[in-house]
Amino acid sequence: MSGKNKGIRKGASFSLIHKLCEYQAVRKLAETKGYPVRQMCRCLGISRSAYYHWLRYPKGESEHKNKPIVDLIKGIHHLQTDMGYRQIRDDNALIMDTFDEAVFSEPDAHPLFHSDRGFQYTRPAFCNHLKKHPMKQSISRVAHCVDNDPMEFHELALQAA
């Protein structure tokens, strides 16, 4: 490996899945071809201690906890291959139910609904749902999360009064 590539590889950040593939490749090549683990780890830019830890403890606690969720997402994707992870994770029914509960508990209120630009709040179904109630929607500008500050300050002032 050239010095130029070494610097790029060393500073690169990899996802857990990428690391998993590397660890599996090192294990397979070490077992089937007898390649030295030290050299493979050096070439791949992974630490030997992390590799050996993975060998001893292949699945972490969070991986076991997330397995049912992963299986569910894979099942949904298998049935509807055009859906990305955002649509699979979307729980629009929960948002609508929470909104309806708030409107029901304060029927005379005419609040301003402020949200980020999440797809749940910008899709036509939600916008039409807002129009059914006397409510206006306010959406943060892109990359300006402080847009919420005036709304939150106003709410705190009302609660303090």
Residue 73 near residue 85 (C-beta atoms within 8 A)? yes
**Do both 98 and 135 map to the same domain?**
yes
Question: In the chain, pLDDT over 70 holds for what percent of residues?
Answer: 70
Same domain, 98 and 155: yes
- Residues 98 and 143 placed together within one structural domain of the fold: yes
Q: Are residues 75 and 122 in the same domain?
A: no
Claim to verify: residue 67 and residue 96 sit in the same structural domain = no
**Which pLDDT score is estimated for 158?**
67
CB atoms within 10 A of CB 63: 12
Residue 112 belongs to domain spanning: 92-160
Query: Mean pLDDT across the stretch 141-153?
Result: 64
- Whether residue 124 is found in the same domain as residue 74: no
Total count of domains within the chain: 3
Hey, what are 153's tokens?
């300050």
